Amino acid sequence: MVLYTIALVVHAIICAALVLVILSQTSKGGLDANLGGAAMNVFGGSGASQFLKKWTQILALIFVASCLLLAFLVKDIKSGGNSNVQERQKKINDTEQAAPAKAPAPAPASTPAPVAPAGN
């Protein structure tokens, strides 16, 4: 369970980093334009796009590997825990007591039938 929690936290960090790298790439309205082109100043004219493409590919591969790891960890958690739950349910069923029978509800008081108006 601890390994699953650690893997889940690492997966969330990878997701956030992947989103930021994708948004930082130069396009018509990415994060780079919102920051005033700071990536262009740091990496030069075309250095930013190649650098960000490379990191997008790397983070995408790590993301896929993280997804597969989490899938296998969830499968192991669910298969290992079912027997314990079933054993506890059997113990509960053995200790349950029958509920006392309730008295039947009294019949509703009779109401007079509505009278049809006389006339036409």
Contact status, residue 59 vs residue 16, Cβ threshold 8 Å: no
Tokens at residue 78, please? 């669910």
Alpha carbons 50 and 45: distance in angstroms, whole number: 10
Using one digit for the tens of pLDDT, what is the confidence trace for 14-32?
999 999 998 888 765 555 5
Average pLDDT rounded to a whole number, residues 38-49: 58
CA 104 to chain centre: 47
Supply the pTM of this predicted model: 0.51
Where do the structural domains in the chain lie, given as residue ranges? 1-25+36-77
